[in-house]
Amino acid sequence: MHITLESDYAVRIVDCLVQAGARLDARTIAERTDVTLRFSLKILRKLVSAGIVKSFKGTQGGYELARALNEISLGDVIEAVEGEYAISRCTKEGFTCNREHSAPCKFQKIYREISREVQDKLKSVTFDQLV
């Protein structure tokens, strides 16, 4: 099990902005993170939508962090591109099990516990700790 490539890239993009400490254009972000420009722009849109990154238009435009480093966690970044982390799809809200039994799955409870532990750990690690 691993995080998706998109999540990995999102973390790299946020770290790139942390390291720069200033506004960067999308092309520079893409070059510094080894992520294609097209994929960088897709991820940046999600990060902007989540309130992690701010975008600026015009000749002086670009992207910069929208919050303080201690207010941005790994969990925030991953959730911005993936949604809430879950070890199994059966722990997600609205999931309907195809099993014929009406009793809850014996694995669902432990999967929820593991998912919560991972979410809590990812939320506990903020970018100020990674500088």
d(CA 31, CA 47): 18
Per-residue pLDDT of 3-52, as tens digits, reads: 899 999 999 999 999 999 999 999 999 999 999 999 999 999 999 999 99
CA angle 125, 44, 1 (to 5 degrees): 50
Set out the domains of the chain in order of their start, with CATH numbers. Answer: 5-130 (1.10.10.10)
Residues listed for the chain: 131
Query: Please, is 78 exposed, middle or buried when counting C-beta atoms within 10 Å of its C-beta (0-12, 13-18, 19+)?
Result: buried
Query: What's the confidence (pLDDT) of residue 101?
Result: 63
Place of tokens 């910069």: 64
Average pLDDT, the chain: 91
Q: Which two tokens stand for residue 45?
A: 């849109």
